[in-house]
Each structure stands twice: as C-alpha cells, then as structure tokens.
Amino acid sequence: MARALVGKVLLHGDHVARIVETEAYLGLADAASHAFRGVTPRTGVLFGPPGHAYVYLIYGMYHCLNIVAEPEGSPGCVLIRALEVEGQPEASGKGPGRLTRAMGITLRQNGADVTRGSLTVHAPSREAKFEVAVSPRIGIKHNVDWPLRFFVAGSRSVSGPRSFNRV
DNA sequence: CAATAGATCATCT
DNA sequence: GATGATCTATTGC
C-alpha cells in the first residue's frame, strides 16, 4: 500500500498535491506503530475499515496524516510523509508536520473516509514516469532498520535523506 | 554537515 | 506526570 500510494494525488478542499513520500506501519507486529499497544480511543480508527484517515497531533503542534491500509481488525496504516505541488517544489509539504499544515488537515479529518468527502486520494490524471526508492523509516525508535519508507527517486520534495535503493 | 534545545498538548500510565 | 511517526533556529565543526 505504501509503495502504491507514492505518485497518487491527495485532494483536500482547494489543495491538490502529489504524494511523493510514504511510510508503512505494520500495526501489532511493529513496535513503532501506534497500534502496537492495542486499541485505545485514539488508535480506534486504525482497527476500523481501510480507506480512512488517521490523523493525530504530535509534539503538541504538528498533525500527521495516515491512511488505514488493512481490513477491519488489522491496524496496518501508511503515513504520508511528503507532498509535491505540481510546478511548485518549494510550496510543497515536505515532512509530515508541514504537509498537514499546508493542506489544512487537523484532528477534524480523523476517521474521514478517503474515498468520498472533502479529503480524498485519487489516481493521477496523467501517469507520471518515476522510480520508487526505499529506505529505513525516519524519526522512530523501534525497528529502525526496517525498509518501509518509500519515495519518488530524485524528487526535491522528499524529506530527509535521498539516498536509496531502487525497488 | 551534526548536535542541541525549545515549542506545546492530546493521549496514555 | 511522561511521552512523542516534528520542525525550526542556532551553534559548532
């Protein structure tokens, strides 16, 4: 799922951007996942049906956007790490905290259905040609070596290290 | 480029 | 009461 979401288009209100960087979180099997410790009021949507947004506040000032990726009862999800506005690499959301700010995403979109409503994911109108690269995830303290971060190879809108292995 | 500190709050123990 | 899937600014190579 994380691999497939790279290159898709995210829509929220008037904002449109291409997803250029994602990370996978494996739920109960992944100590880095919020769902690792089981169901809580916050992680409830992770255990719900796929295709819904999981938004949370981190460090008291940034929101992070995830898409639930696995069937109901299975809490796998994909963190959206970076977006690129077409033709405006520098106006893009580079990093999970900045992209939610740029798109106007807050706790209000938590649990939103991403196949309908104001926050949606679409296939790109024009199939862009690009290669997807893989690397370990960023900013976590568990399973640091798992290659679950996916991004558009060579994109300047990607956060963090751009060195990679192709996939 | 690397290391560090500070901002700030919903959520969990 | 502690913590964190972040970002920015600043300092020191």
Give the sign of the dihedral formed by CA A116, CA A11, CA A108, CA A151: positive
Shortest CA–C1' contact from A62: which nucleotide?
C6
User: Judging by DSSP bridges, how do beta strands A77-84 and A62-68 pair with one another?
Assistant: antiparallel
DSSP 8-state class, residue A113: B
Å from the A60 CA to the B7 C1': 8
Please give the distance of CA A145 from its chain centroid, rounded to a whole number: 19
* Eight-class DSSP state of A91: G
Closest CA to A79 of A69, A70, A93: A69
Q: Is the pTM of this model over 0.85?
A: yes
Condensed to tens digits (0 to 9), the pLDDT of residues A135-149 reads: 999 999 999 999 999
The third-level CATH classification (topology) of the domain covering A2-166 is 3-methyladenine DNA Glycosylase; Chain A (3.10.300)
- Residue A41 clears pLDDT 80, i.e. is over it: yes
pLDDT classification of A134: cutoffs 50, 70, 90 = very high
Greater pLDDT, A113 or A92: A113
